[in-house]
Copies of this chain bind each other. A is one copy, B any other.
Amino acid sequence: MLSQTSEYALRALLFLAEQDRKKSTGADVIAAAVGIPASYLAKVLQPLVRSGVLHSSRGRNGGFALAVPPSQLMLERIIKPFDDNSGRRHCLLGRPTCSDRTACAVHLAWKSTGERIARFFRTTSLAQVRGPVGRLTLGV
């Protein structure tokens, strides 16, 4: 459903949403907490810094922090740099252009389900996502 990299990004930000936004959290701390190879995490978070979702600070006590309140941060914005097949997810047959006018064979049947998926990522915020589980149950 999501690429491995998007999954990592989502898990990392879920963790960051629980931390104090004033302080930045080191990459190794995040990696250990959510079960991501530490050497890979920097590569994952970097695009999110560029897109303005995260704020990163260098030097001692540096690290990453959310640049946006979790209640205003939609999931779509988190996964966009990685799964930017957002245009591809809407057509089951993977056609670049597939609309009501230029429909593929399965367009009509798939339409409502595809729209529902898109709506989920577009309208669900990081803050809404935290389930009733007390302690976050992330991957593994």
Contact = CB atoms under 8 A, between A and B. Distances in A.
Interface stretch (A24-32, A48-56, A113-121): A113-121
A80 interface: no
Contacts of A33: none
Interface string A7-20: 10011001000000
Interface string A84-101: 000011001111000000
A107 B2 CA distance: 14
Contacts of A113: 116-117, 120
Size band of the A side of the interface? 35 or more
B131 A92 contact: no
A90 B136 CA distance: 18
Interface string A101-136: 011111111100110110010001000111111001
Contacts of A92: 1-2, 7, 10
A65 B1 CA distance: 30
A59 interface: no
Contacts of A136: 105
